[in-house]
Structure 1
């Protein structure tokens, strides 16, 4: 089934802008680069940047192309059914990247961070089998908590408004209900807490 390509908007609504700026891809990029920098300076940051290009930027580029061709209903994929293969394919790609990182000797915090991105994808995939949930909010909440693990605890309250704004934007644009954003936030916080514990246990 194909969908008509969405016409270019005349103007960008603030809620749409928030969803674009704080989409999962740029937040994954931020987290991986910061993780790499913490682990090994510029070398680690380059590992994080390269990883993000594969597991975040590349899937989003593919989705934008598919959306333009009418294969999916938008680059954020509003349809629950269409999200399943997207999560599955991105999960396989991410798992392969983790395996490559371990084999090539990436700074350990980078594959650990990538593995938690994979965990998030698997949880979202499992939930999406029965119910639509906000991946935007899940990633934003995980990013806010994870940033504290990678920098300092005071970064968490500074980053906390981001998932709130993202949740409001996703409801405002009609892409999610309040319940779907709330569950997304819960998923993100739980994964972020687990990631914090894992990062703290590393030498």
Structure 2
């Protein structure tokens, strides 16, 4: 008895699903979400404004930088698959995040917001150090770190969204952009670094 479904068709469908997850739940999406939610927690509507500032320097400008390099052929795509290319991209993103921290500090942003962005910067530094020798997953580091910081602010219920991190990890492995080990290390790195820094500074 046959089902009429061919293995290669299933694999293609899974790959399409993995691509949708990887693209839809990329670091930019998590950063915009966490900056907005943390802004609301810090100072309601005024905090949302601070969240927009944080998102500008932590997500929007970095994405524009990546697109600029992609158009000029400096790296392959917006996910920057090659480890060597990430050694150029990550410092560029760090420069933008650092500028955001300086501006937010100068303008008197709530401590919870500056703690959030500083935690992102320290996480980037940790990712950069690892990337010198190994291609750790930025997707899972950012997503798991974001959920950990939201849980510290809003309460443990935020961790109910953790299956999304598992989906992100699955998509990265399915697309062969990362190994399972790289995804797991990223998942552990986010909470360990971002969660620790955020809890100490907020």
* SS at structure 2 position matched to 1:175: coil
**Structure 1 unaligned residues grouped into runs of 5+:** 1-11
Pick aligned residue for 2:43 from 40, 43, 51: 40
Partner residue in 2 for 1:94 = 97
- What is the CA-CA distance between 1:47 and the residue it aligns to? 0.9
Partner residue in 2 for 1:163 = 165
Partner residue in 2 for 1:187 = 189
- What is the CA-CA distance between 1:123 and the residue it aligns to? 0.4
- In the TM superposition, structure 1's runs of 4+ consecutive aligned residues that sit over 4 Å from their partners are none
**Structure 2 unaligned residues grouped into runs of 5+:** 1-14
- What is the CA-CA distance between 1:170 and the residue it aligns to? 0.1
- What is the CA-CA distance between 1:114 and the residue it aligns to? 0.4
Equivalent runs, 1:1-203 vs 2, <5 Å? 13-156=16-159, 158-195=160-197, 197-198=199-200, 202=202
- Report the aligned-residue RMSD: 1.6
Deviations 1:102-128 (A, max 9, x none): 111111111110000101110000000
- What is the CA-CA distance between 1:189 and the residue it aligns to? 2.2
Corresponding pairs, count: 188
- Normalised by the length of structure 1, the TM-score is 0.87
Q: Name the CA distance, whole Å, in 2 between partners of 1:86 and 1:129.
A: 12
Deviations 1:63-100 (A, max 9, x none): 12322332211111001000011111111221121111
Larger Cα Rg: Structure 1 or Structure 2? 2
- What is the CA-CA distance between 1:192 and the residue it aligns to? 4.2
Is the Cα–Cα contact under 8 Å of residues 120 and 194 in structure 2 kept in the other structure? no
* SS at structure 2 position matched to 1:13: helix
Is the Cα–Cα contact under 8 Å of residues 31 and 143 in structure 1 kept in the other structure? yes
